[in-house]
Amino acid sequence: MQSLLPRTLPRFSRSSRALHTTARRFQAAPTAKPVLLKEFKIYRWNPDEPAAKPHLQSYKIDLNQTGPMILDALIKIKNEVDPTLTFRRSCREGICGSCAMNIDGQNTLACLCRIDRAGNDTKIYPLPHMYIVKDLVPDLTLFYKQYKSIQPYLQNDNPPEREHLQSQADRKKLDGLYECILCACCSTSCPSYWWNQDEYLGPATLMQAYRWIADSRDTYGEARKEKLQNEMSLYRCHTIFN
């Protein structure tokens, strides 16, 4: 019956095994990505050899086989090059605050910091002027203690029967304050906090102290302010704005 078909009809092929030859036009051959090496210099210190001084260890990885963020690079190094590299991480989306560290001189979250694809090396240090547990992991015990000391919870002696009502204007006052994830990047970038860490509260804690003073549902504003009335907790701030 084939000979009765008009010659103008297109036919892919007569053979039933033609798929691999005709399909070549439709399959994309994967193009090999060039190797783009980048050097990372990362602060290392091992508590199992405490006498050894902290030093910068150099790692080179192929950026074209890595995700775009610094955290992706750190995880790749840990998986493929050096499993002893230690750092904190959790959400990988900038909401938990675990991966806070100093990248190329600025404190930021590793999961939100894009890798600079230009040639030169990237230096990764832990948060400045903090006691180091291991490699990039700082001891944040004091930071959390300072946060606890400002009583970061609603205090109201006459709670209403049902909800604490709050106008939209009053709620707007909390915008920009409540979102703090306590990553410690701001406090550890403050020179005043570097020199007086034990007594000065630092920007993160002070902003949260204000957040509770500014909350219209909280009635302990005066007591909270009284707690800051000493030489060190608040007034070590010299408006450096680092």
Partner 1 sequence: MSSKSMEILNKQRLLRPSSPHFTIYQPQLTWIASIFNRATGVALSALLYGFSLAYLAAPTTFDSAHIIEVVAGLPDAVKYAGKFVLALPFAFHSLNGVRHLAWDMGKFMTVKGCYISGYAVLGATAVSTLAMVFYV
* β-strands 37-44, 55-62 pairing: antiparallel
Q: How far is the CB of 157 from partner 1 (least distance, A)?
A: 31
- Closest by CA to 111, choosing from 78, 88, 139, is 88
Q: CB nearer to partner 1: give 47 or 159.
A: 47
Q: CB nearer to partner 1: give 112 or 194.
A: 194
**Which residue ranges make up the site for partner 1 (CB under 8 A)?**
43, 45, 47, 50, 53-54, 102, 104-106, 123, 125-133, 138-139, 189, 191, 194, 238-242
Q: How far is the CB of 183 from partner 1 (least distance, A)?
A: 15
Sign of the Cα torsion 212, 180, 86, 53 reads negative
Distance, CA of 185 to CA of 105 (rounded, Å)? 12
- Closest by CA to 210, choosing from 200, 221, 199, is 221
Sign of the Cα torsion 215, 219, 223, 229 reads positive
Q: CB nearer to partner 1: give 178 or 195.
A: 195
CA distances from 14 to 11, 17, 18 (A): 8, 9, 8
Q: CB nearer to partner 1: give 35 or 240.
A: 240
End-to-end Cα distance, the chain: 85
Q: How far is the CB of 191 from partner 1 (least distance, A)?
A: 6
Q: How far is the CB of 45 from partner 1 (least distance, A)?
A: 6
Q: CB nearer to partner 1: give 106 or 156.
A: 106
Q: CB nearer to partner 1: give 74 or 92.
A: 74
| Phi and psi, residue 60, nearest 5° | -115, 125
Q: How far is the CB of 161 from partner 1 (least distance, A)?
A: 38
Q: CB nearer to partner 1: give 10 or 50.
A: 50
Distance, CA of 84 to CA of 45 (rounded, Å)? 11
Q: How far is the CB of 142 from partner 1 (least distance, A)?
A: 11
Q: How far is the CB of 87 from partner 1 (least distance, A)?
A: 13
- Whether the CB-CB separation of 39 and 121 falls below 8 Å is answered with yes
Which tokens go with 183? 């990553």
Which tokens go with 88? 């904190």
